[in-house]
Chain A
C-alpha cells in the first residue's frame, strides 16, 4: 500500500466521529453565527444523504442567495430555510397513488434487481385487500429463481390470487393473462410484478416495453401506475435508473424502499429536481403493513438527523 498504515486508522476514527457528530455538529453550529462552517455542515449533510453534488450545489446556491437577501438572525434559521428549499422541490412530487374510483386500476412494478418490487407488491395487495378491493397479481418475473413462489407466498399472506405461468415463460404472456383474468373477474386492482433488471441492459428493457405494451393493449388504455421501485440505499445511480426506466416505460412514480435503515434516500431529491417524478410510497420494513405514504416533511427532517 502506498500510504502509511496510520492514515487508514485515522480515517476510520474520523469517520466514526463524523457520523456520531454530524447532526450534533450542525446543531451546535446552528446556535451561533452564520459563517462558512454552517454552510459546509449543511452541505455535508446533503451529500451524505446521497443528494448528489449537482443537486446539493443547486440547493446550496439558492440557500446562500436567500440568506443574503433575508439576513436571518441566527444559524438555526438557516437550517429552517434549507429545509424549506428542499421541501419546495419535494412537495410537488409527493402524490398519492392513482386509484380509479371505478373500473380496473392496473399497476406495473419495475426496478433493478433486489430493489423490493415483489415485497412492495405484497404490501400493496394486502393494503388494497383490506380496503375491501378485489385484487389480482400477475407474476411476470419468470426469470429469477423462485420469484414466482416468492410472489405466491405474498399472495397467500395478502389473500389475493396470483396469475402465474411456468418459470422461463414469456413475461408478456403472463401479463396478458393477468389482465385478462382481472377483466373477466371484475377485479378492482391489478398488480404486475416484473423481473429485476439493470437499466443498461437494452434487451431486458425491450422485454419490459413489451410487457407494458401488452398490458396497455389488453386494458385499452394507459395503466394507472407504472412504478419504479428504488432502494433508499442507492447512490447516484438512482438518477440513471429513473431516467432509463423512464425512457422504456412511462413511469408515473417511485416507491422508495428500505427507509427503515439508516440511508436517507436523498437521491429522490435529485430525481424530483431533474425529472419531476412523483414519490408515491415508502417502504419501511419487511412486514405486510410496512408501506406508507411519502411524507416530505418527515423525509426532510430525517435528512438532518
Chain B
C-alpha cells in the first residue's frame, strides 16, 4: 500500500551520500519527500509547513550517526518529532474526583460516535467501572435504538427519554439516573453535527455546562482530509475538548488528521477505533501513528533491530555475499535463523523502503514451524546441492522430501522462495536498475 511512496522516499534518501554533518541541502532534499508523504497522508498543509520548518531547524548541522545515512538520519528526526508532537506516550482518561464521571462524545455526522460510546463503555467496564450510556441523539432516525441494541449486546444500561426531549435535559436526567443507580461513569452519545451549525453547537455548549463532563472527546474519522483542523478548532472553542477518539483506523487511511488536530488543538488522541466490533478500541500509540502517517516503513526500527540481533561477523560475511550475489541455500537458512529473532520476515522486509510490498516477498513468512521444516529440507541436501541448487532435479527433490519428512511441494516451494530471494537480493545488492540503493542490505546488516 505504501510501496510507491516508500520507493520515492528511498530514492530520495539514496541521493544523500557522504558522512559528517547534515548539510542544509541534505535536509531539504529529504524533507521534500517527507512533505509529499505528509500531504498524501492528509496532514493539513499549514501544519506540514510549520512542522517541517521546525524539523529543518533541528536537523541542519547535526552529526550523522555512524550507522545511518544522512537521509535516514533526517527521517529519524522527522519520526521522533512526529511522535513527540503526537503526545509522547498514551494519554489516559482523567477520571479523578467524585463520581459519577461524565464523558461526552461529540463530532461530525457519521464519525462513529455511537459505536465508540459502546466500545468505550465496554473498555471501561473491564477496568471495573460501572458505566451508563446516555442516548442524547434525538435527531438521526433510530440513533437511540442503535445505542440500545449495542447496550443490550454488552449488558450495559442505556438511559433514554426518547426523541421528544431536549438533549440537554436527557443528559442531565442521565446523570441523575447514574447517581441513583450507582453508575460511576456516564457516557453521553450526542448527535452528529456540523461545526458551523451555530444552533446545534450551542446545544452542546449548554449540555456541557449542565453536566460538567470530565472528558469531552471529539470523535474523528481517520479518513478526514484537510478540514480536520477547522472541525477540531471549532469544537474546541465551544467545548474545551479534552481529547480525541480516532475511528476507522482499520482501513488504509494514513490518518494525517491525527497530526493536524493534535497540532492545532494541542489535545491528545486517547483512543483509536480499529473495527466494527465492540472490543475494537485501542489506546493510542503515538509512535505507531507517526510511522503510519509517514508511510515509509519504519526504517529505523529495522536498523536498530538488525543491529541488535546480527553479530558483526555474520553481517560482514553476508554483506560480502550479497554484493557478489553468491548466495546459497545455506546462507538462506542462516539468514532465516537470524531474522527469526527479529520477527516475521515479510514484516521486517516490509519495513525497508523499496522492499515494502515487493511481490516476491508475499507469503514469505518465518514462523517456528516453517523454519523447522525449512531446516529439515536444507539439512537433507548434500553440500553440493546446497551450494548449487540448480542441480536439484526431480529425483533429488523426491529424495530430499523423503529425507526431511516433507512433501515434494514443500521442497519446490522452498526452492522457489530461495530463488526469488536471491534474485531480489542480487538486484538490491548488485545495484542493478536505476537508483537502487546500492548495498542497502549491507548497510542494514551493520556495514
Contacts and interface: CB of A to CB of B under 8 A. Distances in A.
A236 B141 contact: no
Interface in A175-232: 198-201, 231
B335 to A, nearest CB: 31
B120 interface: no
A116 B223 contact: no
Contact of B263 (A8, A235, A236): A8
Interface string B334-363: 000000000000000000000000000000
A261 B140 contact: no
A154 B84 CA distance: 46
Given A199-B251, A234-B223, A116 B50 contact: no
A150 to B, nearest CB: 4
A286 B139 contact: yes
A152 B146 CA distance: 13
Nearest to A16: B233
Nearest to B278: A145
Contact of B141 (A52, A153, A234): A153
Interface in A8-48: 8, 10-12, 14-16, 18-19, 44, 47-48
Given A146-B149, A263-B225, A236 B142 contact: no
Nearest to B262: A8
A109 to B, nearest CB: 14
Interface string A149-184: 110111001000000000100000000000000000
Interface residues of B, number: 60
Contact of A47 (B45, B50, B141, B221): B45
A7 B141 contact: no
Contact of A14 (B50, B194, B231): B50
Nearest to A267: B225
B142 A200 contact: no
Given A116-B109, A262-B227, A145 B150 contact: yes
Given A2-B80, A15-B229, A262-B230, A233 B224 contact: yes
B252 A200 contact: yes
A146 B45 contact: no
B114 to A, nearest CB: 8
Interface string B141-162: 1110111111001000000000
Given A3-B81, A150-B140, A112 B229 contact: no
Interface in A110-162: 112-116, 122, 143-147, 149-150, 152-154, 157
Given A2-B81, A114-B110, A262-B195, A53 B264 contact: no
A273 to B, nearest CB: 16
Contacts of A238: 223, 225
A144 B275 CA distance: 12
Nearest to B58: A2
Contacts of B252: 198-200, 237, 240
Contacts of A14: 46, 50
A80 interface: no
A53 B81 contact: no
B29 interface: no
A48 B49 CA distance: 13
A157 B139 CA distance: 14
Contacts of B146: 144-147, 149-150
Interface in B105-162: 108-112, 114, 139-143, 145-150, 153
Interface stretch (B253-261, B324-332, B398-406, B407-415): B253-261
Interface string A45-87: 0011110110000000000000000000000000000000000
Contacts of A8: 263, 266
A3 B54 contact: yes
Between A233, A234, A258, the greatest number of chain B beta carbons within 10 A of the residue's beta carbon is seen for A233
A72 B45 CA distance: 29
Between A7, A19, A152, the greatest number of chain B beta carbons within 10 A of the residue's beta carbon is seen for A7
A263 B39 CA distance: 16
Contacts of A153: 141-142
A148 B383 CA distance: 67
Contacts of A200: 250-252
A18 B50 CA distance: 12
A150 B141 contact: yes
A47 B39 contact: yes
A198 B255 CA distance: 14
Between B140, B143, B226, the greatest number of chain A beta carbons within 10 A of the residue's beta carbon is seen for B226
B41 interface: yes
Given A2-B84, A236-B41, A146 B145 contact: yes
Interface of B: 36, 39-42, 44-47, 50, 54, 58, 80-81, 84-85, 88, 108-112, 114, 139-143, 145-150, 153, 194-196, 221, 223-227, 229-231, 233, 248, 250-254, 256-257, 263-264, 266, 276
Given A2-B58, A44-B45, A147-B146, 12 more contacts: A11-B263, A16-B233, A48-B45, A112-B248, A113-B248, A114-B112, A150-B141, A150-B142, A233-B225, A237-B223, A258-B194, A261-B196
CB-CB nearest 3 A-B residue pairs:
A235-B225, A114-B110, A153-B141
27 contacts: A2-B80, A2-B85, A3-B54, A8-B266, A11-B46, A11-B50, A19-B230, A47-B39, A47-B226, A52-B40, A53-B36, A53-B39, A114-B221, A145-B149, A145-B153, A146-B146, A150-B142, A150-B143, A150-B146, A201-B250, A201-B251, A233-B221, A233-B227, A235-B223, A236-B40, A237-B252, A286-B109
Interface of A: 1-3, 7-8, 10-12, 14-16, 18-19, 44, 47-50, 52-53, 112-116, 122, 143-147, 149-150, 152-154, 157, 167, 198-201, 231, 233-238, 240, 258, 260-263, 266-267, 286
